């Protein structure tokens, strides 16, 4: 007899506190089954201690009354009314409204047939217009709007920096697909913003501006220009030869801008 | 009966939940061909906007700033007129939206700022009134160009022009 059998039999006992001899032999030599028997015995004791609520007096009298009445004590069990199934309901509905349902089905079939057989011109081919939303143009309009509202050299400088960043990023993106002339034109825009915009605006920063504040403003912009220069130089080594001059020019513009801004940040210009 | 109603509700909620799992379709990326086409179409306008932007940043007076802003808005009107001549309704509508944004957010506030700072009877005050008139004239040019030929039938253009009512009113 293994432990699982013994433990199942303990659970099946009417009172696990009194083990029969057959089980006691195994339990005496098995620690696990001993623990199991103890737990079962404890559970039995605890169940016996559970309070049982007393029945209301009227209930007892009513039950005695029921037993004493003339009718049979055992009454036929009440059965729940069965709910008709969906199929039954549907079937009943169809039988009752057979004429209408048949007519409706025939009408639907006729309509489908007419639709099917009606001469059609074939699917209309709608040609979507080519996209006209140009992200770079939208950015330039937004930058001009921001510049119109910028009322300090600092805000103007930051907006121009954003504009230069947009142009540099777009130029790099177009480096492999645009013609040399187009890249040259884009580099010209970048140059305009850096030289005529950023460097000039940095020069207009108020003299009263603390050197630390000036450096805090100009150094990150100079660092971004440095990044433009590095990326343009790197890209110029990867693009076709006719695209290289524009990128080199952009790198030179960025380096010059960086140099000017760093000089201003140090207060030497 | 109630069982069918519950089932319907459960399936409706399930369908709503499944729909919510699908991300909103992203804006389609432009192909290299479209990028090039748009660069060619917009290069003059972008060049003007870059020059106008730098000029706006360099403007030393409020009236000068208004003048450069008006130049930028005129650059947009010129491009819209060209698109209208080509009867390119979609381009007219797109550029008109940009024009409206720039006038509403850039030109009009700049005009209002300058009006506050500049005495009305001064030479700058007169310049400012002229600039406002010119901006209103630009708007009329735009509307006139957009109401010719096939463009007058384009709902997209009509909607874009309708959106200009607000700035038309402000420029009066």
List the single residue in B54, B65, B102 with the smallest CB-CB distance to A192: B54
Measured between CA atoms, how close is B125 to chain A, in angstroms? Answer: 19
Handedness of CA A202, A205, A208, A213 (dihedral sign): negative
The span from the CA of A205 to the CA of A214, in Å, is: 8
Please give the residue range of the domain that contains residue B132.
62-172
pLDDT tens by residue, A44-76: 888 878 877 776 667 777 877 777 776 655 655
- The domain spans of chain A are 3-49, 135-266
The span from the CA of B94 to the CA of B103, in Å, is: 15
List the single residue in B34, B46, B72 with the smallest CB-CB distance to A137: B46
Interchain pair B106, A129: CB under 8 A: no
| Coil/strand/helix, residue B29 | coil
Residue B164 in domain: yes
Residue B97 in domain: yes
Report whether B57 contacts A201 (CB < 8 A): yes
Query: For residue A84, what pLDDT is reported?
Result: 76
Contacts of A146 (CB under 8 A, 6+ apart): A159, A162
What is the number of domains present in chain B?
1
B111: nearest CA in chain A? A148
The residue count for chain B: 172
pTM, two decimals, is 0.67
Confidence band of B122 (pLDDT split at 50, 70, 90)? very high
A179: nearest CA in chain B? B36
Interchain pair B37, A148: CB under 8 A: no
Interchain pair B50, A167: CB under 8 A: yes
Contacts of B105 (CB under 8 A, 6+ apart): A145, A148, A149
A181 touches chain B (CB under 8 A): no
Render the burial of B103-130: b for 16+ CB within 10 Å, e for the rest: bbbbbbbbbebbbeebeeeeebbebbee
Q: What is the mean pLDDT of residues A211-234?
A: 96
Contacts across the A-B interface (CB distance below 8 Å): 116
Closest CA to A137 of B7, B141, B116, B80: B80
A133 touches chain B (CB under 8 A): yes
Residue B90 in domain: yes
pLDDT tens by residue, B89-112: 999 999 999 999 999 999 999 999
Contacts of B90 (CB under 8 A, 6+ apart): A129, A130, A132, B156
Contacts of B21 (CB under 8 A, 6+ apart): none
Residue B136 in domain: yes
Residues of A in contact with B98 (CB under 8 A): 137-138, 141
Q: If residue B168 lies in a helix (H) or strand (E), which one and from where to where?
A: helix B165-171
B79: left (phi over 0), alpha (psi -120 to 50) or beta: alpha
Report whether A194 contacts A225 (CB < 8 A): yes
A82 touches chain B (CB under 8 A): no
- Residue B132 clears pLDDT 90, i.e. is over it: yes
The span from the CA of B104 to the CA of B101, in Å, is: 5
């Amino acid at each position: 007899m293994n432990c699982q059998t013994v433990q199942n039999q303990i659970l099946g006992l009417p009172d696990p506190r009194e083990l029969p001899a057959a089980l006691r032999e195994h339990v005496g030599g098995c620690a696990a089954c001993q623990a199991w028997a103890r737990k079962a015995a404890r559970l039995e004791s605890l169940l016996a201690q559970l309070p049982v609520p007393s029945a209301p007096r009227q209930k007892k009298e009513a039950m005695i009354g029921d037993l004493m009445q003339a009718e049979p004590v055992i009454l036929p069990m009440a059965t729940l009314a069965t709910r008709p199934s969906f199929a039954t309901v549907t079937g009943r509905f169809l039988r009752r409204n057979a004429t209408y349902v048949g007519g409706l089905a025939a009408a639907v079939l006729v309509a489908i047939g007419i639709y099917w057989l009606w001469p059609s011109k074939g699917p209309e081919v709608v040609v979507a217009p080519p996209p006209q939303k140009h992200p770079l143009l939208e950015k330039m309009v937004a930058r001009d709007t921001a510049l119109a509202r910028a009322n300090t050299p600092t805000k103007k400088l930051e907006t121009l920096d954003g504009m230069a960043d947009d142009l540099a990023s777009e130029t790099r993106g177009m480096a492999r697909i645009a013609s040399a002339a187009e890249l040259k034109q884009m580099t010209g825009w970048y140059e305009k913003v850096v030289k005529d915009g950023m460097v000039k605006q940095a020069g207009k920063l108020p003299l009263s501006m603390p050197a630390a504040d000036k450096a805090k403003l100009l150094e990150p912009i100079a660092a971004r220009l440095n990044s433009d220069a590095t990326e343009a130089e790197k890209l110029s080594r990867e693009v076709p030869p006719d695209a290289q001059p524009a990128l080199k020019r952009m790198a030179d513009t960025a380096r010059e801008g960086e140099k000017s801004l760093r000089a201003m940040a140090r207060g030497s210009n | 009966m109630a069982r069918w109603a519950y089932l319907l509700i459960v399936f409706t909620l399930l369908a709503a939940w499944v729909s919510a799992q699908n991300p909103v379709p992203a804006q389609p990326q432009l192909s290299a061909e479209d990028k090039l086409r748009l660069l060619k179409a917009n290069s003059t306008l972008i060049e003007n906007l870059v020059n106008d932007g730098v000029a706006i940043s360099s403007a030393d007076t409020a009236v000068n700033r208004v003048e450069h802003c008006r130049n930028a808005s005129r650059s947009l009107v010129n491009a819209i007129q060209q698109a209208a001549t080509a009867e390119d309704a979609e381009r007219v509508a797109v550029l008109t939206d940009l024009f409206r944004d720039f006038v509403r957010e850039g030109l009009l506030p700049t005009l209002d700022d300058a009006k506050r700072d500049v005495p009305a009877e001064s030479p700058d005050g007169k310049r400012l009134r002229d600039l406002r008139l010119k901006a209103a004239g630009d708007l009329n040019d735009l509307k006139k160009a957009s109401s010719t030929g096939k463009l007058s039938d384009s709902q997209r253009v009509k909607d874009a022009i309708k959106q200009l009512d607000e700035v038309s009113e402000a420029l009066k």
